Amino acid sequence: MHHPGAGGAGKGENMSQFLRTPLYLLLASVLATPAFAAESRIPEGIDLTLDLVGNVAHNPVGGVEQGTEGSYWVMAQSKFDLDKLFGVHGTEVDAQWAWFAGHNLAREKIGNSISAQQTWRPVAGGRLTRLTLRHRFDNGLSITAGRAPVNSYFNNSPLNCVFMSNAMCLTPYGAITDLGITAYPNSSWAGLVRYDVNDRWYAQAGVFDYNNELNKAGKNGLDFSVGEGTGTISAYEVGYQTSFANDRLPRTYRIGMYRNSDGGKSSYFDADGNSAALTGKPTAVQDGARLGVYAMGDQTVWRGEGNRNLAVFGRVYVNTGNEAPVDHFVSAGFVKTGTFAGRDQDTLAMFVSNTHFSDEQIGFLRDRRSRYGGTGAPHADEIITELSYGWAVKKGIRLMPNLQYVINPDPIYAPTRTTHIPDALIVGLRVDVHFAQLFGW
């Protein structure tokens, strides 16, 4: 059990705790059975996925204190092609479930709000993350309805998760904090329409119920109530994308926007118009709507034999509606696929990001610091960089050692801090196991 304020557990202790979890013991026993020793046969029309992703992070330098934390998730997904199974043309069912556990180094040791571990979630345990029915018409139009998160469909790219930091993976930072968009593993009632003009251009729009109560412990993604939310999230995106199948140098460009009719809460003022940090009262509910726009681009700039390539990318998010904690977020980086001789599937990747907090958010943190006897304000710009190497051990298993560096860590989760938090160096390890690939399902 983790005790806040206690010294950080060593990596060995974290791994030992993980190896004693019922989930790990169950997976180990299943994988040891003869049925999994050979290639499994899955009926045509059923696509099964079972992934285990683990993160361990240690900050030898910087933060409020030094320590080690680990987190992991297990995700199971089943896609049913109803055309192949029952002759229902162009229709599929997608069901996804996940289990989360672990602790967050950023919150518990460093004190900042941007997690270094993309597998950590505030609510641990199991959760239904998606249950959708999708129908594709012959003219390029498709309609999806059911339970789904916004970030599975909008502002998304495979390059986002060639990293471990939550500044990039799963969704570039900003929109979740500002607009409350539902993000994996949280889901809500949703309806989406997409039109593929051709094999390159597309446009899509979605409407999602906003009910923050669904994200709390004990809900497990199984509360299917209707009409109890406080707002509606709408999302719009236009994109151009190619692949190795139709472009020597594949590229992806997307622009989009989000709108949440729930105006959110002020980052600074209480209901009386005073500093909530000084009065100790809750921040005030805002009228109006929350809005944000984004743009992203992935561009392959070099290609060697096979799929060996070098891609560069950029991400931008800007808050354009009600005041919110983040004014804007920008990031850029590269992903090199194919590194040394014979390592065609390995990746070398790096990104640098800047999160610019609003004047109100910085004012709140300044006043809170003053309340506890400190002076001055935290920096408005939090800069995070990560350098990672993805080692494809074998098909279905990837290890990703990484180094992260956080300049100007925000003190959002260090409420009694009276001075700046020292810049933090983070040594991380991400482990991905894709059982469907491993066993040839």
CA 154 to chain centre: 12
CA distances from 207 to 51, 140, 256 (A): 28, 20, 14
Confidence at 41, pLDDT banded by 50, 70, 90: low
The pLDDT of residue 258 is above 80: yes
Q: Judge whether 135 and 163 are in contact, CB under 8 Å.
A: no
Both tokens of 142, joined, read 């498709």
Chain segment 77-111, per-residue pLDDT in tens: 999 999 999 999 999 999 999 999 999 999 999 99
- Cα–Cα distance, 55 to 51 (Å, whole number): 13
- Residue type at position 240: Y
* HSE-up of residue 141 (Cα within 13 Å, Cβ side): 4
- Cα–Cα distance, 385 to 354 (Å, whole number): 9
Return all residues near 313 (Cβ < 8 A) that are at least 6 apart: 157, 159, 296, 297, 298, 299, 332, 333, 334, 335, 351
> Any idea what the Cα angle at residue 267 is, between residues 266 and 272, rounded to 5°?
50
Residue-level pLDDT at 232: 97
365: buried, middle or exposed (CB in 10 Å: 19+, 13-18, 0-12)? buried
- Cα–Cα distance, 60 to 405 (Å, whole number): 11
Closest of 339, 319, 341 to residue 330, by C-alpha: 319
Residue-level pLDDT at 82: 95
Q: Judge whether 158 and 243 are in contact, CB under 8 Å.
A: no
- Residue in this structure with the two tokens 């992203």, named with its chain if needed: 296
Confidence at 440, pLDDT banded by 50, 70, 90: confident
Chain segment 316-369, per-residue pLDDT in tens: 999 999 999 999 999 999 999 999 999 999 999 999 999 999 999 999 999 999
Confidence at 268, pLDDT banded by 50, 70, 90: very high
Residue-level pLDDT at 8: 39
Q: Judge whether 189 and 131 are in contact, CB under 8 Å.
A: no
Residue-level pLDDT at 42: 74
Chain segment 357-414, per-residue pLDDT in tens: 999 999 999 999 999 999 999 999 999 999 999 999 999 999 999 999 999 999 999 9
pTM attached to this predicted model: 0.88
Give exposure, 15-42, as e/b (b: 16+ Cβ within 10 Å).
bebbeeeeebeebeeeeeeeeeeeeeee
- Cα–Cα distance, 221 to 243 (Å, whole number): 34
- Cα–Cα distance, 361 to 250 (Å, whole number): 39
- Cα–Cα distance, 60 to 386 (Å, whole number): 16
> Any idea what the Cα angle at residue 432 is, between residues 428 and 436, rounded to 5°?
180
Closest of 137, 162, 163, 152 to residue 187, by C-alpha: 152
- Cα–Cα distance, 441 to 435 (Å, whole number): 8
Residue-level pLDDT at 31: 46
Main-chain dihedrals φ then ψ at residue 16, nearest 5 degrees: -60, -40
Q: Judge whether 267 and 361 are in contact, CB under 8 Å.
A: yes
